[in-house]
Every structure is written in C-alpha cells, then in structure tokens.
Structure 1
Amino acid sequence: MSNHVRTERMELRERLAADDAPIGSWVSLGSTAAAEVAGGLGFDFVVVDTEHTPLSVESAGELVRAVDAAGDTDAVVRVPENDTAEVKRALDLGAAGVMAPKIESAAEAEALVAAAKYPPEGERGVAGSRANDYGAHTVEYFETANDAIAVIPQIESAAGVEHAEEIAAVDGIDTLFVGPADLSASLGCFGEYDDPAFLDALDATFAAAETAGVPVGTLATGPAEIDAWFEHGVDYQIVGTDVGYLRQGARAAKEHYESLDQ
C-alpha cells in the first residue's frame, strides 16, 4: 500500500495507475458551497453522487463546476446506473471520471468503458459541451479524453465479487471500487464489516484487482472506518461525505456544549 503524499498535479487516472493512494471526498447534498469547500481542501478527487440523490444533470453540473473552481481537485460523477446516456451526460459536464454502481460482469464493465471512451476505443458521442469548452476545443478534448478520464466500476454484490477478476481485466477499467453497504447487504451481513463473509469477499476483490494490476478503493464514513479499511489493505479511500461531515460536526459541537457545567 502506498502512503499518500500530494506532490505535483496529477490527474486521478494517473494517480490510480501509479498506485498513488488518492484521497477522495463525497458530495450528495446538492450544495455548491459544500462541493467548493471539499474541492478546496486538497482532496485528489470529489465524487458527485447522482445515484442516491435527487440531483438532476443540471445540479450535478453546478457541483462539478464548484469542485473545479476551488482548486486542483478532480470531480468524478457517480451515475445512477450503468447507462450509455447517463455516462455521456456526466462526462460532458467536464468530469474527470465516472463511477457506475453495481457492475456484475465483464460485459457490463465493457459497456461502461465503451460509454466513457470516444471511438475507436468506445462509442461516446461527440458534441460541444462544458468538457470541451462548449465546442471551442473539441478536437483537443477528443484526442486526450480517452487517456485522461478515470473509469470506476463499483463492486457491490456477490455477483460482482464472483466476476471481479473478469471485470478488473477489461481494458479501460482503472480500479475496482467496493460499495461496502450494498456489498454487505448482498451478503446478508449489512453493515457488519468484520463478518467473515464480507471479509472473504473483500479479499477476493483484492486478489482479482491484483491479478489485473488495478487498485481497490472504498468509502469510509468516519475515522474508525478509515482505520479499518487501511488495516484491511484498501489502496485508497473516500474518507467521508458532506452529510456525514455536517452530522458529525454538529453532533460533536452539541455534545461538547452539553458536557459543560451549566
């Protein structure tokens, strides 16, 4: 496992390929201020979640802009499903990567890559968009996007674990990202991350990724999970969410005040 040291500017896909242990954050509240704050804190990437949120494409675009405006942090959009149109629209927003939930086969991984890549590697459509300065730099973007955009499938089910090696081996897949809540639910041990079934699945995912030469990441929702995933050998982490930071900070402030002698 690499120790994360933020040095010169590297795109997320480069960091993943270099086993550079990128550190991420997560936004789902729809607040551009929260996205801008996260983007300005030196994270390597921030995921804009459109799966478990009511965010529209327009709202997601505003969050991507906010992250980009804050500094050198890359914005990644998690699409609601592995759908060609959803991936295309997310990347046209100017995202540096796309994450897709519940990938369970090599065929689904291949479809994700095809949606994210321009021909001849894929089938992404070409049009003026924020990603290419609304058509001002279409040629330059077309020539560089396939090498720059990170493609991130999520392993979130028993079927995904079973086929993780084939998924990781698909050309154009940059990493496997474990969704711990959904994976544990699929295995019948929701939230029990020390359950043998979950740990076996995690180990199987590690082995599959190692065979393919790609890193494995996951999401932590607090310091205890950050420590646990680190000890388990996860290559990189998203270390919290905007709603989690808000809840934890508010709870800590409230409990501190209530602890004082009144």
Structure 2
Amino acid sequence: MTMLKQKFDTATDVVGAWLSIGHPTVAEVTAAQDFDFVLIDTEHTPLGLQTVENMSRSVDAADGDTETIVRVPSNDPVRIKRVLDIGVAGVMVPMVESAAEAERVVDAVNYPPNGIRGVASGRAAEYGDDFQEYVTEANGSILTIVQIETQSGLDNAAEIAAVEGIDAVFVGPADLSANLGIFGQWENDRLTAAIETVLDAGAETNTPVGTLVVDPADIELRVDQGFDYLIVGKDTSHLSSANEAIRQRYETAVSRQAGTSSTED
C-alpha cells in the first residue's frame, strides 16, 4: 500500500494540487510545497504518457513525501494500465455513473485473478528488477478515485461509493453543474444539494469525498461542507492570478508616482 493510500484511509486533512501544465519543473516546484499529492490531468489536457512519466519522476525527486495521481481521460482499462505502469500512486477516473462502472475501474486497476490489468515490467516494477514482487503486491495498493459528475452518478452515489476497491470519490463541480443545467452557478441550491448527496453517500460508506477549489476564498466553504480532502488550486490559475496581481501592483505604483510628480510640479 502506498503512503498516499494509507493517508486516505486514516487522515482527514489530505490535500493535493492540480497540474495541467505538462512540464516537469512545474511538477517539481509544486511537489516541493509539501502537498500530499499532485494530480496530473490527462482528461482535458494534451499531455502524453512520456510527459506524465517525466512529471512523475520530478515529483519523486522533490524533497518531501508528495505522490502522484493521474486523472485518466475515461474508464478505459488500456489507458489505466498504461498510466499505472509508469508507477504512480493512484488514478482518478471521470464520469462514473453506476456501481457497475466503478467495478470496471477496480478491475482495470488490479491484476488477475482480482482484475484484468495486463502484466508488464515497466517503471512501476523497476523495469523488471522488482517484477514478481510488484505484481504480487500491487493489488490493493493503488489509490482508486472515481468522479461523480452527472445526475446518474448522483442517483447511484451510495452504490458507487460502496464498491469494494473504490478508495475515494471526487465531486467534479464544473461538470456536475453543467449536467444539472446550472453551469457555474456555484451558490445554486441544487448544486449544494447535489454535493450533499455525494457527501452523505461517502459518510454512509466511510468513503472519503473530495473536490477541487480554484478560488482560495472557497476553501473554508468546502471544509465546512464536510469534504474529507481537497485539491487546492490549479497551476494555470495560480500563474494567471499571480501575473495579474503583480501587473496591477506595478500599474498602481506607476500611477501613484505619476500623481506625486504632478503634485510636486
């Protein structure tokens, strides 16, 4: 079992960071900030396997205990297999809508006889040096997270969370609001009720429930709502907001200086 999977089993303050920029330096700088994990998104980015592998290496090279989760594009056992062969700590699978779909995720993550994952001596198995030991011990060691993002997922939330082998559930706020016909209406009562449905399902099955927070001002809200873990911030959003803030600060300083010069004249 990875250290991260143990944290999800026992801790209540697990925190991660979202990575969409496909560069190892971004991964390394982020991992050095003592997050429990970074999530590398391959659903809505052009990132390929080689890039993900190099980002994972950078996370491993950083000081601290940060581990890597990869969000795969879909519930595809081939994609899941290839990501796991890189040697990451876990996977997140989007758009899971039923217990049967969640069971297929678990099957894809596990080797036979517990699942259908193909056996190979990749980076996860030290390129063959640790082959037999890795294959023997891998089952049950990989953090497995599924996303609930649709009405069907909400309707089946408790059954999804109860599937053996599902370690955590994740609320995708953007897709969920879009599927409910209230995209971006973060304060809408229907979205709040939907979130509570997933949180209740997690509490009922003792399955951690998390979500993404892009605006730092929303952290307290999500903690107060009862989320068990959060992904706080996104690399592209940090870059954008920091650049805007420092540009505005410069413009304010220049404007102030211009005003002072005018007064002195």
The TM-score, its normalising length taken from structure 2, stands at 0.93
2: CA distance between counterparts of 1:251 and 1:128?
46
* Aligned equivalent of 2:107, options 109, 114, 117: 114
Deviation, 1:73, is 0.7
1: CA distance between counterparts of 2:85 and 2:10?
26
1: CA distance between counterparts of 2:234 and 2:167?
23
**1:207 maps to what in 2?**
200
Amino acid in the other structure paired with 2:52: A
Deviation, 1:212, is 1.0
Amino acid in the other structure paired with 1:62: N
SS at match of 1:114: helix
Amino acid in the other structure paired with 1:108: E
What is the Cα-based RMSD across aligned positions, in Å?
A: 1.1
- Contact 1:11 1:148 (C-alpha < 8 Å) held by counterparts: no
Q: Which moved more, 1:164-173 or 1:191-200?
A: 191-200
**1:7 maps to what in 2?**
none
User: Percent identity at matched positions?
Assistant: 46
- Contact 2:4 2:37 (C-alpha < 8 Å) held by counterparts: yes
Confirm or deny that 1:249 pairs with 2:247.
Answer: no
Structure number with greater Rg is 2
1: CA distance between counterparts of 2:11 and 2:156?
22
Amino acid in the other structure paired with 1:21: D
Deviation, 1:89, is 0.6
Deviation, 1:223, is 0.9
Gaps of 5+ in 1: 1-9
* Aligned equivalent of 2:157, options 145, 161, 164: 164
1:48-59 to structure 2, matched below 5 A, reads 48-59=40-51
Confirm or deny that 1:95 pairs with 2:88.
Answer: yes
Structure 1: 4+ residue segments shifted above 2 A: none
2: CA distance between counterparts of 1:47 and 1:78?
7
**How many residues are paired up?**
253
- Contact 1:19 1:215 (C-alpha < 8 Å) held by counterparts: no
**1:81 maps to what in 2?**
74
Confirm or deny that 1:34 pairs with 2:40.
Answer: no
**1:182 maps to what in 2?**
175
**1:150 maps to what in 2?**
143
2: CA distance between counterparts of 1:215 and 1:194?
23
Deviation, 1:214, is 0.6
- Contact 1:16 1:214 (C-alpha < 8 Å) held by counterparts: no
2: CA distance between counterparts of 1:209 and 1:232?
13
Deviation, 1:69, is 1.3
- CA offsets per residue over residues 147-176 of structure 1, 9 Å max, x none? 321000001111111111110011000011
The TM-score, its normalising length taken from structure 1, stands at 0.94
1: CA distance between counterparts of 2:141 and 2:212?
23
Deviation, 1:222, is 2.0
Deviation, 1:245, is 1.1
Gaps of 5+ in 2: 258-265
- Contact 2:140 2:165 (C-alpha < 8 Å) held by counterparts: no
Deviation, 1:225, is 1.9
